[in-house]
Amino acid sequence: MTVQLSPMSINTLVSKQRQYFLSHTTKSIDFRLTQLQKLKQAISESESAIYEALKADLSKPIVEAYTSDNSVFME
């Protein structure tokens, strides 16, 4: 899945992210742990697509992709 962003949408996105950061919502440990759990779930759900992309883009075999890129994040 490729998303194309225009310069205006990038500026809008950056502005919104700055506002969000300044709201201090990101500073709580519970929030950070929740976000990390969501990231782990997203990686787990997209594991085969990640391997395919690493193979297509970097010619990485699945075993190498798992040991060098994925297993580190899934611990």
Q: Tokens in use for 47?
A: 């594991």
Please check whether residue 72 lies inside any domain of the structure: yes
pTM of the predicted model as reported, rounded to 2 decimal places: 0.56
Please check whether residue 52 lies inside any domain of the structure: yes
pLDDT tens for 6-56 read: 877 888 989 999 999 899 887 788 988 999 899 889 988 988 888 888 888
Phi-psi region of 72 (alpha: psi -120 to 50; beta: other; left: phi over 0): alpha
Confidence of residue 75 (pLDDT cuts 50, 70, 90): low
Give the closest residue to 55 by CA, choosing from 44, 45, 68, 43.
68
Residue 72 clears pLDDT 80, i.e. is over it: no
Domain around 55 = 47-75
Number of domains in the chain: 1
Instruction: Give the pLDDT confidence score for residue 52 in this predicted structure.
Output: 87
The whole-angstrom separation of Cα 51 and Cα 49 is: 5
Please check whether residue 37 lies inside any domain of the structure: no
Give the closest residue to 51 by CA, choosing from 59, 2, 40, 38.
59
